[in-house]
Amino acid sequence: MECIFCKIVNKELPSEIVYEDDEILAFKDINPKAPVHVLIISKKHIGSVNELKKEDKDLIGNLILVAKNMAEKTEINKIGYKLCFNVGKGAGQMVNHLHLHLLGGWTESVPKHNI
């Protein structure tokens, strides 16, 4: 299997896991673009938002709820945070396994384009 995020899900590659359940894994981004940068991913391999099907709607909702809970846990919700899906190469998607970026923890001005 070539997909690095599938390897992280299967614990074949190390990562700093901050949340895990049956369908979702959240771990720290290896190259953070914000003081707090967590990737929330589906354990099932889905390439991107482009491949989502109607039956994935609960999964997507749950990804966002996990992000919200992580924002509370790290207290970045007090100032504010960004949630982002990059979709496709042209938008900067480097890893073709669905992931939601949670970015925050700034103390002063908030960068407008930080991914």
Q: List active site positions.
A: 99
Q: What residue 93 binds from Zn ion, ligand 5GP, none (CB within 5 to 8 A, per partner kind)?
A: ligand 5GP
Q: Which does 14 bind (CB under 5 to 8 A by kind): Zn ion, ligand 5GP, none?
A: none
Asked if residue 27 binds ligand 5GP (CB under 6 A), the reply is: yes
Q: Quick one: what does residue 69 bind among Zn ion, ligand 5GP, none, with the CB cut-off 5 to 8 Å set by partner type? A: none
DSSP 41-104: EESS----GGG--GGGHHHHHHHHHHHHHHHHHHTGGGT-EEEE---SGGGT--S-S-EEEEEE
Say how far apart CA 89 and CA 60 lie, in whole Å. Answer: 21
Residue 113 touching ligand 5GP (CB under 6 A): no
Q: Does 7 bind Zn ion (CB under 5 A)?
A: no
